[in-house]
Amino acid sequence: MAKAMSKSAIMAHFADKFGMKRKEVVAFFDELSSLAYKEARNQFTIPGIGKLVMVDRAARMGRNPATGEQIQIPAKTVVKFRIAKAAKDAILAKKNGK
């Protein structure tokens, strides 16, 4: 399996691709991250990639894996990332050799 790209490698790729300084690319991604964190409550979409959404999870019964004892898991709000259909199709098509 190939190794995942590091943050530094991603920044270098975008700097080379668009002829920008690395600091400008880092600033862009930092601002994108800040905006995503701020707007996640209202859904934040990155076109062609997916969107961040806040989801309310209901309270439920769970099981302690160590003891087998049933426990009550409280309701909570979680952040999820929903992958865009275009991203799924592009990634899975490459993986399946289509």
Domains of the chain: 7-95 (4.10.520.10)
pTM: 0.74
pLDDT at 93: 85
**Cβ contacts of residue 77 below 8 Å, gap of 6+?**
54, 55, 56, 57
First to last CA, the chain: 19
What is each CA distance from 45 to 11, 68, 81, 89, in whole angstroms? 21, 40, 10, 17
pLDDT in tens, the chain (98 residues): 688 999 999 999 999 999 999 999 999 999 999 999 999 899 999 999 999 999 999 999 999 999 999 999 999 999 999 999 999 999 998 666 55
pLDDT at 96: 64
